Amino acid sequence: MKVAEKRRAVRIDSRVLFAVRQVSDAVFQRIKQDYNDGISLYNRPEMAEARLFVGAGAALSRLRERDEDMALVLQHIDAKLNKLLKASDDHHSLMDKLVLQRVNLAGNGLAFWSGKSYEKGEMLEFHIVLPADSTFIDCFGEVVHCTAEKVNGSLRQKVSCHLRMITEDDREALIQFNFKQQSLALQRRRMEQEGD
């Protein structure tokens, strides 16, 4: 296994903001063709709000490096403005569909629990917001298997997918997030062992 493949295969279970939607083959092929022609996944009209979210997050990150307190104040103001806008508007956006849930993430695929069953080969679009720095990721994956299992007394579907289309920057963000989460888990384990 090559080094790049090993890095992509590193997996971590984490709670992230997550949304999934089925995509027809025709829609996927159109988006794929646009992507191959150099049009970013984020330049689609339905991704306008995500672009604002990503842009604001990047600006706050840059500001945080220079003035942490100001960045924190602006982040709180932004959150309050968003809450006010949502209260005054019945429009449901992409960001409203995001739900905090446990997802098994890797640079080459992911697995999640769903109340819905999916067929092998179905194409799905994923929207993921990684915690800490609020990195937004838009990617597409193909269902490799879907199995029914009991979770907390109810029947749920464990859906495993292989990523078919993701920007290299987004893939690297997933990989770095996974490495950071593994490092934190090792630190916690060492602290627990030292405390015993």
Range of the domain at 163: 3-195
| Each residue's pLDDT expressed in tens, for the chain with a length of 196 residues | 676 677 776 778 899 989 999 999 999 999 999 999 998 888 887 776 666 665 666 677 777 788 888 878 887 787 777 677 666 666 556 667 888 999 999 999 999 999 999 999 999 999 998 887 778 899 999 999 999 988 888 889 999 999 999 999 999 999 999 999 888 888 888 888 887 6
Q: Calculate the CA 35 to chain-centre distance.
A: 19
What CA–CA distance (Å, rounded) separates 81 from 20?
26
Query: What's residue 5's pLDDT?
Result: 74
Q: What is the pLDDT of residue 158?
A: 95
Instruction: Give the total number of structural domains in the chain.
Output: 1
- With beta carbons less than 8 A apart as the criterion, state whether 161 and 124 touch: yes
Q: Which pTM does this prediction carry?
A: 0.76
Report how far residue 20's alpha carbon sits from residue 114's, in angstroms, rounded to the nearest whole number: 10
